[in-house]
Amino acid sequence: MSVHASCVELMGKGLLICGKSGTGKSDLCLRLIDLGARLVADDQTQIENVGGKLIASCPEPLRGLLEIRGIGIVHMPFIPQTEIHLKLDLRTEEKIDRMPMPETEVISGLEIPVFRLNAFEASAALKVKTYVQILNGQKKVIR
């Protein structure tokens, strides 16, 4: 299935970046790439359940392309696919809970964690990096 979302891989974890138009999907991708993430797809992501893993890839004509607002569409290094471990749900119009309860969502029959954030906050990319470190067992939430 094709979804209106971007996707990167950070520290071995695929991140599906979802949100309405103008919520900062491509901008967050650019900042995550600066932190060491690898681009999979910008704006359009193909998702499929392959043997119990949620695999993301980019439609052929868009591979390696990232829209950078104010510059244009730029060729970027990319990887052809990644396993999605986390959905980033970008929100700009609502307040984000300070200490939310963990959330999950079922995509193509598989349950994955969801992290809601405002991509335009200065700390957004670092919050995502911290969440991935939690997924990797490098940090722990103590509430």
Closest to 111 in 3D by CA, of 119, 101, 103:
103
Closest to 103 in 3D by CA, of 91, 87, 90, 119:
87
Q: Which residues of 30-46 are buried (b: 16+ CB within 10 A; e: fewer)?
A: bbbbeeebbbbbbbebb
Q: How far apart are CA 91 and CA 120, in angstroms?
A: 9
What are the tokens at 140?
């722990």
Catalytic residue numbers, as ranges: 4, 25, 43, 98
**Is-contact 30 72, C-beta < 8 A?**
no
Closest to 47 in 3D by CA, of 19, 87, 12:
87
